[in-house]
Amino acid sequence: MENTGLRVLDYWFSACKTILPSVLALLITSCFHEQNNVQLETYNNPIVKQRADPWIYKHNNGLYYFIATASEFDRIEIRSAPGINGLGQAVAKTIWRKHEAVPMAGPIWAPELHYIDGSWYIYFAAGKFGDPPRIRMYVLSNESADPMQGRWTERGQLVTARDSFSLDATTFEHRGIRYLVWAQRDQERKYNSALYIARMTSPTTIEGPEVMLSEPDLPWEVIGYKVNEGPAVLIKNNRIFLTYSASATDHNYAMGLLWADADADIMNPHSWHKSLEPVFATNAAVNRFGPGHNCFTVAEDGVTDVLVYHARDYRKIEGNPLFDPNRDARARIIQWTADGWPDFNPLQGD
């Protein structure tokens, strides 16, 4: 019996001598691979010049599709590339142009590209300037497998209960229900825009109630304009994170954060919490001025979260900052804290 026990011990010692070096090598290789990924997943900013309100959709065909506000405010264009860094060199295809007259005249703002139930949809704002401006949300759709091919069909206005200034529609699905989040002016015109949420009955229609999630009530949200706009949703770590932008579109423009537990009733405004300070803002040390109107995508590894946003590389602007064309699209890796919160401010030079 004693000899048998010794033989068993000898076997395990021998096995450990053989296996442990392989396990250590695997761990070292894995760590190196992860470090290598971080190096590969840095982006050549700006990724696309003179394109504000950027939106990137990574499709199941492996391509990244990029759509944004053209600096001329007169058209919607799409470009694609197998990697984010390739989008700046990709040829942009114009898929729709503004009408000469309202309601779908310029300015054409903040288009977003979504793939829903086998079809493509673009949500965007159109209308006219004025006092008050006649800006509303509209939808295009395309049944082609590739959004740069096929025919885009005008689906009309995305109608809300209040007929007022509205823009920046985004959509997401949570636990089998599709939602729309957008920015809209209140009837009393106390502020330029607040954020609302509603359930969707189809990709082009919503149903009541329409619930206000956030209004510009913090000092950093009301510089120049009283604005909450540009919502974007990221669901992770059992939370729904909703970023948005606030204040005028100069160096004061910045990103805020709302969040709710994934198990909460997200149609209840009390389920949502709001950061008291911006989570991403101007940083002159890295020539980042007025970052905002972001979206989220995933890196080339299919796992790493990426923040996409626009910013200028200078502070001083002549005239109305809205018409300064040099808001460039940028991208950066999102870091996550140990307790599952996004950190938008790691030491990256963008």
pLDDT tops 70 at residue 184? yes
CB 301 within 8 A of CB 279: no
Q: What is the pTM assigned to this prediction?
A: 0.88
> Has residue 339 been placed in a domain?
yes
- The per-residue pLDDT for 8 is 37
Q: Identify which of 101, 98, 174, 195 has the alpha carbon closest to the alpha carbon of residue 138.
A: 98
| Pairing outcome for strands 228-236 and 166-174 | unpaired
> Has residue 153 been placed in a domain?
yes
Report the share of the chain in percent with pLDDT over 90: 83
> Has residue 32 been placed in a domain?
no
CA distance 288 to 328: 10
- The per-residue pLDDT for 347 is 59
Report, as an integer, the average pLDDT of 193-211.
97
Q: pLDDT tens-digit profile of 256-288? A: 999 999 999 999 999 999 999 999 999 999 999
Report, as an integer, the average pLDDT of 66-78.
98
CB 136 within 8 A of CB 166: yes
pLDDT tops 90 at residue 244? yes
CB atoms within 10 A of CB 7: 9
Report, as an integer, the average pLDDT of 323-339.
96
Which range marks the domain in which residue 269 is found? 47-343
- The per-residue pLDDT for 40 is 42
Token pair of 40, please? 């590969």
CA distance 64 to 58: 4
Report, as an integer, the average pLDDT of 215-229.
97
> Has residue 184 been placed in a domain?
yes
Q: Which of 24-28, 50-54, 87-91, 248-252 has the lowest mean pLDDT?
A: 24-28
pLDDT band at 117 (very low <50, low <70, confident <90, very high): very high
Beta partners for residue 283, in sequence order: 288
- The per-residue pLDDT for 349 is 62
CA distance 224 to 192: 10
> Has residue 310 been placed in a domain?
yes
> Has residue 150 been placed in a domain?
yes
Q: Identify which of 179, 211, 209 has the alpha carbon closest to the alpha carbon of residue 195.
A: 211
- The per-residue pLDDT for 30 is 37
If 0-12 CB within 10 Å is exposed, 13-18 middle and 19+ buried, where does residue 32 land? exposed
Token pair of 178, please? 């599709």
Task: Pick the most confident of 39-53, 119-133, 226-240.
Answer: 226-240
Q: Which of 26-35, 61-70, 129-138, 194-203 has the lowest mean pLDDT?
A: 26-35
Token pair of 41, please? 């997943």
> Has residue 30 been placed in a domain?
no
For Cα atoms 266, 268, 269, give the angle at the middle one, nearest 5 degrees: 100
CA distance 295 to 104: 24
Q: pLDDT tens-digit profile of 163-173? A: 999 999 999 99
Active-site amino acid positions: 53, 229
- The per-residue pLDDT for 313 is 98
**Per-state percent for the chain, helix, strand, coil, to nearest 5:** 15, 45, 40
> Has residue 14 been placed in a domain?
no
- The per-residue pLDDT for 28 is 33
CATH code of the domain covering residue 235: 2.115.10.20
pLDDT tops 90 at residue 14? no
Q: Which long-range contacts (CB under 8 A, 24 or more apart) does 211-219 make?
A: 211/267, 211/268, 211/269, 212/269, 213/181, 213/242, 213/258, 213/269, 213/272, 214/244, 214/256, 214/258, 214/272, 214/274, 215/186, 215/190, 215/191, 216/191, 216/192, 216/246, 216/247, 218/246, 218/256, 218/276
Q: pLDDT tens-digit profile of 18-53? A: 333 333 333 333 333 333 344 445 899 999 999 999
For Cα atoms 108, 110, 111, give the angle at the middle one, nearest 5 degrees: 85
**φ, ψ (nearest 5 deg) of residue 14:** -65, -40
Q: Based on the structure, what is the number of domains in the chain?
A: 1
Residue by residue, DSSP assigns 28-43 as HHHHHHHHHHHHHT--
pLDDT band at 348 (very low <50, low <70, confident <90, very high): low
